[in-house]
Structure formats: C-alpha cells, structure tokens
Amino acid sequence: MDIDEAGLQRKLKLNELEEIRNEAYDSAMIYKDNAKTFHDRMIKKKDFVVGQKVLLFHSRLKLFPGKLRSRWLGPFVITHIFPSGAIRIKGIKIDKEFTVNGHRLKPYYENFVEPNVEETSLIEPKASEFLEIV
C-alpha cells in the first residue's frame, strides 16, 4: 500500500466523519426546536389583574417536601404588573410587598360555593311507591 494513497484515504475518512458530525448537529438542532415549540404550546397563558388574589409557589419546599404539606403560600394581592411578566404582590396577613415571576403564581378562589343541586336517588322505587307517585 502506498503512503500517499493511505494519506488520501485518511483525509477522505476524516471529511466523511466531519460530514456525519455536521448532520448530527443539524438534526439535534431540529429536535431541540421541535421540543421547544411543543413545550411552548403546552404552556397556558395566565392573565392577572391588579387587585386579584393569588397563591405563590413555594419553590424551597422541593428539598424537604412534606407528604401533605401544601406547596402554595398565600393568599397575596397583586399590586403591580410589569410588562416583562414580573408581578409585585403584597401579603394579606403580612404588610410586606415583593416582586416575583408570574409563572410562580396561580389564581386564588375563595369561598367556592356550588349552586343548589337537585339530588336524585339512583335506587328504583318499588311498585307500591310507584303507584303512589302516579
């Protein structure tokens, strides 16, 4: 085997390896773009208004979570909404005001009362009861 021919073969293999590497890089970029668009589609837009009551996600609880412990703090009242998505909230019990990311908040629904609901028995009436009704 000639040294020049071996060198040429080696250069061809290196070029081929570089092409494979570039294709893998391109396909990884396409995959990441698709994953990002899918993730962005699944994010629900939260619309808050000033004066609305919200709950704040307690992110430090992830380290030592209690089984039945709530991960939400609050309620808080929104005092200012920034265009960047940050929201200034104020505690109801504590008179402290601070700014948080809007993704860490969710609406607080207080005193949720179900409307009057008519109850219906699923047990079939006996024949004698049916005759009394009719």
pLDDT digits (tens, 9 = 90+) for 63-76: 666 677 778 888 99
| pTM of the predicted protein model | 0.55
What is the arrangement of strands in the sheet containing 53-57, beginning at the earlier edge strand? Answer: 97-101, 86-91, 72-81, 53-57, 105-107
Report the alpha-carbon distance of residue 90 to residue 79 in Å, rounded.
7
Number of domains in the chain: 2
| Domain assignment of residue 133, yes or no | no
- Please provide the average confidence, as pLDDT, over all residues in the chain: 86
Q: Are residues 2 and 39 in the same domain?
A: yes
Query: Among candidates 45, 54, 89, 87, which has minimal Cα distance to 73?
Result: 54
| Domain assignment of residue 126, yes or no | no
CATH of the domain at 66: 2.30.30
Residue 20 pLDDT > 80: yes
**Angle, CA of 14, 31 and 42, to the nearest 5°:** 170
Report the alpha-carbon distance of residue 87 to residue 99 in Å, rounded.
6
For residue 83, the enclosing domain spans 53-107
The answer to whether 54 and 107 have CB atoms below 8 angstroms apart is: yes
Residue 129 pLDDT > 90: no
| Domain assignment of residue 116, yes or no | no
In this predicted model, what pLDDT tens digit does every residue of 82-98 receive, in sequence order?
998 899 999 988 888 99
Phi, psi (rounded to 5 degrees) for 88: -95, 125
Residue 29 pLDDT > 80: yes
Q: Are residues 74 and 38 in the same domain?
A: no
The confidence score (pLDDT) of residue 63 equals 61
| Domain assignment of residue 8, yes or no | yes
The confidence score (pLDDT) of residue 3 equals 87
